[in-house]
Amino acid sequence: MTLEAVLLVSAALFGIGVYGALSQQSFVMIMMGLELMLNGAIVAAVGFWWGTTGGNPEGQLLAIVVMAVMAIEGAIGFALVTNVYRVRKADITEKLRKLRG
Amino acid sequence: MSGVIDLLFWAFGASAVVTGWLVFRTDSMVRAAYWLMASFVAVGGILVLLDAQFLGLILILMMAGEMTIMAIFMVMFMMNPAGLNPMTMVHQHRASIISGAGAFIVLALVALFANFLAEPVPTGAEPTVDLGVELLGGSMLVFETAGVALLAVMIGAVALVSQQGRFGDAEAGSLEPSLETEGP
């Protein structure tokens, strides 16, 4: 287990997340792509903490901040999806061609 | 010992990537939520192997809760009940594949060819104890800011989805007033 291997796994997760966030039509599936990208970011952050900082705990703190971002993204994302569905009856991106409502 | 750790790392790494891929390949959105959870559990295993036991376990705990909620939302917004029919809901597919593969290749090149410092966690260190001291010591402001941000998000999420406000409909206070004055 080397830092390179950890970063490769992180890059693969991030790449899949980019693909999902760009290609999916359903709002909730786009959010899953975003979560996968943050998942890769956590792996990379903890990998760097493990391999390059000599055990400085501030590196782990970065991972905790990323987890908070994940929770915030989930909560606000679902609130927005619910609101958009209520106002526009839209559940896929193609139904939101106009920004003005 | 290090052989076992290597084997476990590659098993967790491969299952994190494969289950992450299956999220976008399954026909049922509920199954997609649980594949994503499997990916997070594998990443939690990787974090435990990387000496971050606390982070790995709270990641698993947090994601078990979040994905259960997500599965409920998936049922609410699912266009294809129970995944009985094949489902591909994609747009700009070729561009997305190119962007995803491009992101992977660029990051992998950085991972393989950049020179990073080699200062691993010293043996005998206690990362969980250090993290606890750091969270309630030097970095307390960061930690508390994350907590306040989560509180603000809870209020914001409730405000976004509420149907009724104090003065009638939820958007009653945010509509523009009309330009015409009433009365003389």
pLDDT in tens, B68-117: 888 888 777 766 555 566 667 788 889 999 999 999 999 999 999 988 88
How many Å lie between the alpha carbon of B116 and the closest alpha carbon of chain A? 7
B positions 49-108 inside 8 Å of A (CB): 49-52, 54-55, 58-59, 62, 66, 69-70, 73-74, 77, 79, 89-93, 95-97, 99-101, 103-104, 107-108
In this structure, the dihedral spanned by the alpha carbons of residues A45, A50, A52 and A55, taken in order and rounded to 10 degrees, is: 110
How many Å lie between the alpha carbon of B103 and the closest alpha carbon of chain A? 5
Q: Which residue of B has its CA nearest to A36?
A: B20
pLDDT in tens, A51-101: 998 888 888 999 999 999 999 998 999 898 888 888 777 777 888 777 655
Cα–Cα distance, A62 to B142 (Å, whole number): 10
The answer on pLDDT for A44 being more than 80 is: yes
Whether the complex's predicted ipTM is more than 0.95 is answered with no
pLDDT in tens, A10-41: 999 999 999 999 998 888 889 999 999 999 99
How many other β-carbons are positioned within 10 Å of the β-carbon of residue B59?
Answer: 27
Q: Given CB atoms, is A62 within the 8 Å cutoff of chain B?
A: no
Cα–Cα distance, B77 to B14 (Å, whole number): 30
Q: Report the pLDDT value the prediction gives residue B46, as an integer from 0 to 100.
A: 96
